[in-house]
Structure 1
Amino acid sequence: MGFSVHLNVQLKFYNLPNTQVNVAMGFLALLGAIFGPVAAGLAVFIGHALNDFVTYGSPWWTWVVVDGLIGVAFGLAKNRLKIENGVLGKAKLIWFNIYQIIVNFIGWVLLAPTGDIIIYHEPANKVYLQGVVTWIADSISVAIIGTILLVLYARTRTQRGSLTKER
């Protein structure tokens, strides 16, 4: 992703090649909540494509596209979260985390591995295992880092109706 804070940890267990835990997904939740689906989708699409190009020599397009779609989905949560109002209660955070777990599941367990099988003719057991591990890791990253960032950002906003006009 195209953020200044980017940490990748190569997974060595289960012999999962080219699978990384990306804590930047937590930042994507904040980006989507502030700027919406277009900005979040483009940022993660471009960032993932560039990262793959630099790291592996060429983008792995099935996962780049899915990452972009996840960014769009996170951005669609903007209107429901309304963090610009300065209020982000437990109910909204619970809703968002259920939502992001479902979005990550659809993207990483269903779409990306299926695309790998259809387009790249990858072995199903390998790519579905990669997808499940990525789903779990990204969901945890968003649940912890994303939730913290959303709460902290919401606290910086002035709550609607909290200011009164002096007479």
Structure 2
Amino acid sequence: MAKGNGLSVKTIVAVGIGSALFVILGRFGSIPSGIPNTNIETTYALLALMALLYGPVAGLLIGLIGHTLKDAIFYGSPWFSWVIASAVVGLLIGLASGKIRIHDGEFGRNEIIRFNLYQIIANAIAWFVLAPTLDILIYAEPADKVYTQGLVAGAANIVTVAILGTLLLSAYARTRTKKGSLSREA
């Protein structure tokens, strides 16, 4: 985030790139789950990475813009209950960015556990509660149908982010210099 008002250029660029990658992965990185209109999505591992790297506002915007564009391009119109849920996942995981020292090259056991606790909570809130409830309120969908879809989507996203997200974050952390690991020669 910028020190003044608004978003930094770096965050705006991250939102643009993250949203575009969300759309691409949503098209080519989705696996049908067997439940209608519910896929196993690799996009949420990317969303988790971007939210941790750039913070909650970027996470929210990537989830919101990326999911809106994906639905509009591939399905004709956005399904706003799920768009909002994606934005909430990005926001909540992004809130963990201050507690996980990924930029310092730290992503050991404690950070992996902390990350996965945050992502499980974020995905559970978004997909087990928020998306199905909004489906009922906005689209008058049947409760049993949307809560089943939410349960499958949430469980799939939790597992996908736990595996792919942890691998992405671990790989990213290895590219960073650990804080205090460099010393000055006399």
So what's the TM-score if we normalise by structure 2?
0.84
- Matched length: 164
Distance 1:83 1:51 in 2: 28
Bigger relative contact order, structure 1 or 2, given CA contacts below 8 A and separation 6+? Answer: 1
Alignment equivalent of 1:68, drawn from 81, 84, 87 = 87
Distance 1:143 1:17 in 2: 24
Equivalence map 1:74-85=2 (5 Å) = 74-85=93-104
SS at match of 1:3: helix
SS at match of 2:40: strand
Structure 1 residue runs of 4 or more that deviate by more than 4 Å after TM superposition: none
SS at match of 1:2: helix
Shift of 1:118: 1.0
Shift of 1:11: 2.6
- CA deviation map 1:36-56 (0-9, x unaligned): 111121112111001111121
SS at match of 1:77: helix
C-alpha RMSD of matched pairs (Å): 1.3
The answer for unaligned runs of 5 or more in structure 1 is: none
- CA deviation map 1:63-85 (0-9, x unaligned): 10110111011111111111111
Aligned residue for 2:20? 2
Q: Conserved in 1, the CA contact under 8 Å of 2:100 and 2:114?
A: no
Q: Conserved in 2, the CA contact under 8 Å of 1:2 and 1:44?
A: no
Distance 1:87 1:55 in 2: 38
Aligned residue for 1:11? 33
Which stretch has the larger CA shift, 66-75 or 122-131? Answer: 66-75
What percentage of residue pairs aligned between the two structures are identical? 46
Distance 2:174 2:120 in 1: 24
What letter corresponds to residue 9 of structure 1 in structure 2?
Answer: I
The answer for unaligned runs of 5 or more in structure 2 is: 1-18
So what's the TM-score if we normalise by structure 1?
0.93
Alignment equivalent of 1:146, drawn from 144, 147, 165 = 165
Equivalence map 1:16-95=2 (5 Å) = 16-95=35-114
